[in-house]
Amino acid sequence: MPTQTHEKESQAQKLLVPDGFSPEEVKNLSSVLNALLADTFALYLKTKNFHWHMSGQHFRDYHLLLDEQATQIFDLTDVIAERVRKVGGTTVRSIGHIARLQRIRDNDEEFVGPVEMLKELHNDNKSLVESLRGAHVVASKANDYATTSLIEVWIDEAERRSWFLFEATR
Ligand SMILES: [Fe+2]
């Protein structure tokens, strides 16, 4: 067993990146960023799910709106994951790993009405904004300016998505 532990440790060493952050900071940054990454994948797939299963008289508008939002959300994933690697952490490895970390819930319902879809995504984007604000605090504490500056843009994008989703439902 000690040999196995030793092997695991030396394998983990191979993924270390010289970053200037303390082990504690790497742990905290990786943890908030990986949770955000899992949420981002979950929200991406839900937005696509609703894009694919949209129905009703505003089909074209809503279908296109959700596709536009899904593309914007998907574009975040690689940037978040690479940010984790840049600060010296490791990131998600599988759908199972995402499922363990995601806070945004899946919706596997057979039918969801168009307005319910928009409302649910509105709430999900709002909770993503809250998580982003929380991650901003952690990144600020670590003086991780690159992450805080990225997060500021992601908050603006999520607020824009929330705004569009809100306006489309009233
Ligand atoms: Fe499509």
In this predicted model, what pLDDT tens digit does every residue of 8-55 receive, in sequence order? 766 767 666 666 899 999 999 999 999 999 999 999 999 999 999 999
Structure tokens at 29: 């940054």
Q: Give the per-residue pLDDT at 4.
A: 65
Helix/strand/coil percent split, the chain, to 5: 75, 0, 25
Nearest to 37 by CA among 154, 159, 137, 166: 154
Structure tokens at 157: 């994008």
Q: Give the per-residue pLDDT at 73.
A: 98
Tens of pLDDT, residue by residue over 82-125, are 999 999 999 999 999 999 999 999 999 999 999 999 999 999 99
Q: How many CA atoms lie within 13 A of 13 on its CB side?
A: 6
Residue 68 Cα to ligand 1 middle (Å) = 9
Tens of pLDDT, residue by residue over 70-79, are 999 999 999 9
Residue 126 Cα to ligand 1 middle (Å) = 24
Q: Give the per-residue pLDDT at 124.
A: 98
Residue 50 Cα to ligand 1 middle (Å) = 10
Q: Exposure string (b/e) for 74-98, b if CB count within 10 Å is 16 or more? A: bebbeebbebbeebbbebbeeeeeb
Evaluate if residue 157 carries a pLDDT over 80: yes
Cβ 151 vs Cβ 139: under 8 Å: yes
Nearest to 98 by CA among 30, 49, 41: 41
Residue 52 Cα to ligand 1 middle (Å) = 7
Residue 67 Cα to ligand 1 middle (Å) = 6
Residue 6 Cα to ligand 1 middle (Å) = 48
Nearest to 77 by CA among 122, 126, 128: 128
Instruction: Give the pTM.
Output: 0.91
Residue 47 Cα to ligand 1 middle (Å) = 11
Q: Give the per-residue pLDDT at 20.
A: 83
Residue 64 Cα to ligand 1 middle (Å) = 8
Q: Give the per-residue pLDDT at 17.
A: 67
Residue 138 Cα to ligand 1 middle (Å) = 36
Query: For the CA atoms of the chain, what is the radius of gyration?
Result: 18
Residue 66 Cα to ligand 1 middle (Å) = 9
What's the rounded Cα separation, in Å, for the pair 31 and 43? 18
CA dihedral 131, 104, 101, 22 (to 10 degrees): -10
